[in-house]
Amino acid sequence: MMTYEQTIDYIYGRMPLFQVVGASAYKPGLDSMRAFDAYLGHPHHQFPTIHVAGTNGKGSVSHTIASVLQSAGYKVGLFTSPHLRDFRERARVNGEMMPKEFVTSFVDRYMQVFDVIYPSFFEVTVAMAFDFFRQQQVDVAVVEVGLGGRLDSTNIINPRLCVITNISFDHTNILGDTLAEIAAEKAGIIKTRIPVVIGEADDPAVRDVFVKKAAEELAPIHFVDEELEVTEVAYSEKENMPVMDFTINGKSFSTSLLGDYQKKNMPTAYLACLQLRRLGFNITNEALQHGFLHAQQQTHLLGRWQQLDNNPLTVCDCGHNEAGLTFVANQLARTKYNCLRFVIGMMKDKDVAHVLPLLPKDAVYYFTQASSPRAMPAAMLQEKAKAFGLEGFAVDNVPDAIKRAKADAKEGDMVFVGGSCYVVAEIPDLE
């Protein structure tokens, strides 16, 4: 049997990884996923699932729902992607990653099947996660969509609840050029008679897509803006950690997940938990409050407005598309600092012309690149940014860019690291 390191090299080398090669790794259609799932004996039939899609926020919402269920006493599987530091982050049970031994034994057992079915990297990952959850005999699994929804490999499940966080422009080369087209792909997770929670659908065309699809499937549809009233949001400290406090329908909650975008994500997670309660899950108000407050601690979510250092104030965030970086820019505008030092890297296939104008022009930029073939070269990003009045330095790798930004920082300055999940993943000592 291969070692864990050899196993990871094997699956990376044999199956194109989207975060490395981009759209060419995307494999539309569910035929090979269904074939592999059938060969495994449909492991996802052994536990109830919750399916979470959306352009932004699906990670935070998935982790929060999992944390609440964990606080309610359930043994909870959580499937998310991409991983930041360790492949095993993609499948957790009560916050603990898959053991290395499980990864190596799974690949060893099914290596010959790969030569018959030719699954993609993501299909193997999904199948491995479901098999792991079956082995662990989880009570429930929260499953985050990888990309889109309709043709995503996770869409073989028959969930108890579907959640769609929001719709924004991302992966337009795969999902479509309009919000309505993207919404139609995300709406593909809506199943017959299965309730669906919609976090945001401000665009009438997007809302119409969801309403029509739900009607076709006879699926009860619940919009956050119709069922919840969020009256107060503020930052404070609880249990010696910074938190965001919010009041929903008169009830007070705090979350350890920070960032202005959580004002949208937390009500979505809250309404999803209320629906799960109606579906028979034993979720008390105490479990809700504990799960929200300890979401980061219980599920180990990284890179969501995460404070890394106090001197200088250093924060990272995975926001990488138009909607995500709008929230980041707005929050930076309300943060106190003397000078903002912005470490940024982006992927070559991102539409930088839509996101660069969102960023503050008075910041000093450290343009960098993640160690991925998809990464835009630092010098190229620097050149593109100049057209939008963003000035700074090109630094070839993420650790050196952060080191330089911190070294340049004077008292009262802030260092921000972002632009891509892959940049955040290469922050030294991220934990």
Q: How far is 90 from 188, CA to CA, in rounded Å?
A: 22
Q: Which two tokens stand for residue 379?
A: 């010098």
Give 47's Cβ-side CA count (13 Å radius). Answer: 26
Query: Tokens 């073939």, residue?
Result: 373
* Secondary structure (3-state) at 44: helix
Query: Tell me, what's the pLDDT at 197?
Result: 98
Residues with Cβ < 8 Å from 83, sequence gap 6 or more? 89, 90, 425
Please check whether residue 376 is in contact with residue 369, taking contact to mean a CB–CB distance below 8 angstroms.
yes
β partners of residue 210: none
Segment 333-343 mean pLDDT: 94
- The runs of H, that is alpha helices, within 233-377 are 262-278, 285-293, 295-299, 322-333, 352-355
pLDDT value at residue 19: 43
Q: What is the pLDDT of residue 115?
A: 85
Residue labelled with tokens 């890394």 = 308
Give the residue among 361, 362, 359 at the shortest CA–CA distance from 418. 359
Q: For the chain, which domains are there? A: 4-299 (3.40.1190.10), 306-425 (3.90.190.20)
Query: Quick one: pLDDT at residue 52?
Result: 98
Question: Could you tell me the pLDDT band of residue 177, with boundaries at 50, 70 and 90?
Answer: low
User: What DSSP character marks residue 13?
Assistant: H
Number of alpha carbons in the 13 Å side-chain half-sphere of residue 1: 13
3-class DSSP assignment, residue 233? strand
Residue pair 381/345 in contact (Cβ under 8 Å)? The answer is yes
Residue 176 pLDDT > 70: no
268 three-state secondary structure: helix
**Rounded distance between C-alpha atoms, residue 326 and residue 328, angstroms:** 5
Q: What is the pLDDT of residue 241?
A: 85
Give the helix/strand (H/E) hosting 39: helix 31-39
CB atoms within 10 A of CB 5: 10
* Cα 310 off chain centre by: 26
Measured between alpha carbons, how far is 311 from 238 in angstroms, rounded to an integer? 22
**Bridge partners of residue 341, in order along the sequence:** 364, 415
At 111, is the secondary structure helix, strand, or coil? helix
Task: Name the residue among 332, 337, 333, 359 with its Cα closest to residue 346.
Answer: 359
Residue 6 is predicted with a pLDDT of 94
Specify the pLDDT at position 169: 65
Q: What are 363's two structure tokens?
A: 């910041």
pLDDT at 22: 43
For residue 364, the tally of other CB atoms under 10 A from its CB is: 18
Q: Residue 70 corresponds to which amino acid? A: Q
**Residue 235: half-sphere exposure toward Cβ, Cα within 13 Å:** 11
Query: Higher model confidence: residue 211 or residue 354?
Result: 211
DSSP 312: T
pTM metric for this prediction: 0.89
> From CA 260, how far away is CA 328, in angstroms rounded?
8
**DSSP bridge pairs for 252:** 247
Mean pLDDT of 372-378: 90
What average pLDDT does the structure give for the chain? 91
Cα 99 to the center of its chain, rounded Å: 22
Is residue 24's pLDDT more than 60? no
CB atoms within 10 A of CB 97: 18
Amino acid making up residue 127:
A
Q: Tell me what pLDDT residue 21 has.
A: 42
User: 3-class SS at 129?
Assistant: helix
DSSP state of 283: -
DSSP state of 220: -
Q: 215: which residues sit within 8 A by CB, 6+ positions away?
A: none
What is the Cβ-side half-sphere exposure of residue 339, based on CA atoms within 13 angstroms?
11
Rg of the Cα atoms in the chain = 21
